[in-house]
Structures are given as structure tokens and as C-alpha cells.
Amino acid sequence: MKLYLNEISSAASRVRIALAIKNINVETVAVTILGEHPENRSADYLRINPQGLVPALVTDQGTLITQSIAIIEYLDEWQPEPPLLPQDLELRALSRSVAIAIAAEIHALVPPRIARRLAALPGVDAAVIADWNRHWTVEGLGAVEQLLQTRRAGPYIGGQQPSLGDILLFPQAINAERMGIDLAQWPTLAAIHARLKDIPAFADNAPAPRR
């Protein structure tokens, strides 16, 4: 399998974490996503992934899989152990709910391509974009905190083991801290994030800081 990624991408970080948990080795191809001419918008890359996003996984059979959640669930079904979703149906649904809340309600509003579009609008400068990113991150993580407070006892979102929701929470929480957002305002989220930082599969595959 071949994984197209970028080290700063939190979406790619999710897949790298899943691969580490599963102990799956894949070929990786770095794709730039910043700068005046990012490779992910090039004709060559768009032929690989028409969405022009990372990560993208090409399987051994040559099948393209896009979107981090779809890639992670593919890996989980391809190699079921250790599982990335709880067996309990309600905990499984909660883990998916948190994952989708992060992917669709936070991350979708703050990636580099959104910043580039905002910067092209009249009167929008770096301070406005930073405020935009902080606003949607704080609002989104506040909602995630409320979701997490409904879960049953356990150190992680899905219970005793990290699951899909934890995999998406970890890089998003790191990005929030890099924006100067204090995670302590969300005690349940912060406690889970602190536990995840002690797990090598998570710590070693965090999104790199933007240079």
C-alpha cells in the first residue's frame, strides 16, 4: 500500500496513528500542502486523488481510498486486531460521533485551503484568519466535551482502549494548543488527551508544527 501524506496534516496524523496501533507498514509519499504552488493542487496529484487532499491511500490492488475516517475503517476491517472501534454498540456510536464531529465540524473549517480562500477576500488578514480558526476550534471542542461527558467510565472515548474518536481527538487537541487554546476548560477532553500523549503510537505520529 502507498500512503500520500504531509507531516503537518492532522488528517494524515490520524492515519499514521492508526497504522502505528495496527503495526502496519506502508510506503509513504510526502505531498506539500502549503506555499504558492502546493503539490496537492498539482495536475499530477489530482490524477491520483481528484479531491486534492491528504491523506490518500492506494491499496495493493490499486484502489484509491480518500478521507481519513474511511482509510482508518478500511485498515480496521483489513486487519481487525487490535480493533479501532469498541465492541459495545453504544460506545462504538459515541466514538464515531466524536470522530465525525471533529472531522466535519472543526477540521473542515480550518485547513490551509480554507485559509487561502479567506485570505483572497477583501479585508481579511492573518489576524482575521487566526480568529476564525480559534472560533471554530473552541466552539467545536466545547461540543465534543459535552459529548464526552455522556460516556461511560473508562480512560478513553470508547472505554478501556483508544478508538477512532481518540485518534481524531488527539491531533485536533494538539492543534488547539498550538493556537494558544487552553484545553483545561474542557476537563474530560483534556484528561483523555493527556493519557493519549503517553502512548507512543499517538505521541510519535502527532502533526508536525507548521514552519
| Backbone φ and ψ of 41, nearest 5° | -105, 5
d(CA 176, CA 51): 25
Q: Taking residues 151-166, what's their average pLDDT?
A: 93
Q: Is the pLDDT of residue 175 over 90?
A: yes
Per-residue exposure over 147-163, b if at least 16 CB sit within 10 Å of its own CB, e if not = bbeebeeeebbbbebbb
Of all residues in the chain, the percent with pLDDT exceeding 70 is 100
- Predicted pLDDT of residue 210: 80
The dihedrals phi and psi of 82, each to the nearest 5 degrees, come to -75, 150
Q: Which domains does the chain have, with CATH numbers?
A: 2-78 (3.40.30.10), 89-203 (1.20.1050.10)
pLDDT confidence of residue 151: 86
Whole-angstrom Cα distance, residue 148 to residue 126?
Answer: 32
Tell me the pLDDT tens digit for each residue of 61-119. Answer: 999 999 999 999 999 999 999 999 999 999 999 999 999 999 999 999 999 999 999 99
Which stretches within 67-125 are classed as H helix? 68-78, 89-105, 112-119
Check residue 7 and give its pLDDT.
96
For the segment 121-127, the average pLDDT, to the nearest whole number, is 96
Looking at residues 177-205, what average pLDDT do you find? Answer: 98
- pLDDT band with cut points at 50, 70 and 90 for residue 49: very high
Distance CA 98, CA 100 (A): 6
For residue 23, the model assigns a pLDDT of: 98
- Mean pLDDT of the region 39-58: 96
Q: The pTM is what?
A: 0.96
Average pLDDT value for the chain: 96
Report CA torsion sign: 139, 168, 77, 52. positive
Confidence of residue 43 (pLDDT cuts 50, 70, 90): very high
What is the mean predicted confidence (pLDDT) over 162-190? 98
- Three-state DSSP class for residue 57: strand
Query: d(Cα 120, Cα 118) in Å, to the nearest integer?
Result: 5
Measured CA to CA, the distance from residue 206 to residue 118 in angstroms comes to: 26
